Amino acid sequence: MTTSARPAGARPSAETQELAALRGWLRGVKRRMTFEGLARRASGKKLPISECTLRRALDGRLPTRYAVLAFARGAGADEKTAERMWAAASEAGANLVVPRARPPHVPGRITTQAGLARALTRLKSDARLSLRQIAAAPEAAGLLTRSSLHNALTGRRLPSEQWLAAFTASCAAGNVAVLVALIDTRHRILAGPRPPAVYPCEIVELADSRRQRDEAARPWLAEPELDWYDQQLRDEEEAEFQRQIAWVDDLTKDELDELAHEAQTTAQQNDRPSLADLLNRYRA
């Protein structure tokens, strides 16, 4: 059985000796040259390459064959040696026994589109895949275009359930828990924020705090002191009111109803002024 070579740029779970030797050789031929100088010299010798690509060739992942040859040409090193060492590192990486990967991250309770974008970005980062690789994956099914990936990962557009299923298949190996969490998040975003709950205890506490505040302010709102004549009138009015209250207390229910009806249907003055007001106040 033949084993397919590991794709260039893939990060192995355990580094092989051949890959470590290749990286050490590249560091050795680089010497004190800058990546900018290497890129400029390689591009001048018909192997155009960017400074970032040369820098990534030393980050622990297996670089591409083109990047290794451009690195060697820019440093003035033997390109045949570079190609031979790259081939050995690529073959060793293909035969490496990869340990079982850790389970993907399952997003928690997310309620905003920005939170969904961050969760998708983390899944992409954990999968160590570029937008181009995700869009070209068989699981993409034509849904994961680079533009749709950009819109979803930046929070510009809310993805559909089919898009989330394809993304989960590409970045989380179709993990059911991840897919359910993402779809639930989409439903919460579409439903919008829940209205604030009203708790009776909070209403009671608010009313009690207002009552305490009013009682504390009451001494400052006291009426001005009356002179002896006004105070005497006030005392006489209060005594008359208390007498009327005592008189009403002695009435039966039928007598109270009859008096209330009489007070409301006639404007005739009698020996008990403001009787209707008195009865209404008494019943309250």
The answer regarding whether domain 113-191 maps to CATH 1.10.260 reads: yes
- How many Cβ atoms sit within 10 Å of the Cβ of residue 71? 28
Burial (CB count <10 Å: 0-12, 13-18, 19+), residue 94? middle
Give the CA distances from residue 281 to residues 50, 137, 248, in Å, rounded to whole numbers and listed in that order.
92, 82, 11
Which region among 86-95, 166-175, 235-244 has the lowest average model confidence (pLDDT)?
Answer: 235-244
Query: Residue 223 above 60 pLDDT?
Result: no
Model-level pTM?
Answer: 0.39
Local structure of 49: helix, strand or coil:
coil
Query: Residue 170 above 90 pLDDT?
Result: no
More confident residue, 268 or 153: 153
Give the CA distances from residue 269 to residues 161, 240, 243, 263, 274, in Å, rounded to whole numbers and listed in that order.
80, 17, 19, 9, 9
Q: What does the pLDDT read at residue 200?
A: 46
Give the CA distances from residue 41 to residues 53, 56, 69, 147, in Å, rounded to whole numbers and listed in that order.
14, 18, 12, 35
Name which of 29, 32, 26, 66 is nearest 49 in CA terms: 66
Q: Are 16 and 70 in contact (CB under 8 A)?
A: no
Q: Are 57 and 68 in contact (CB under 8 A)?
A: yes
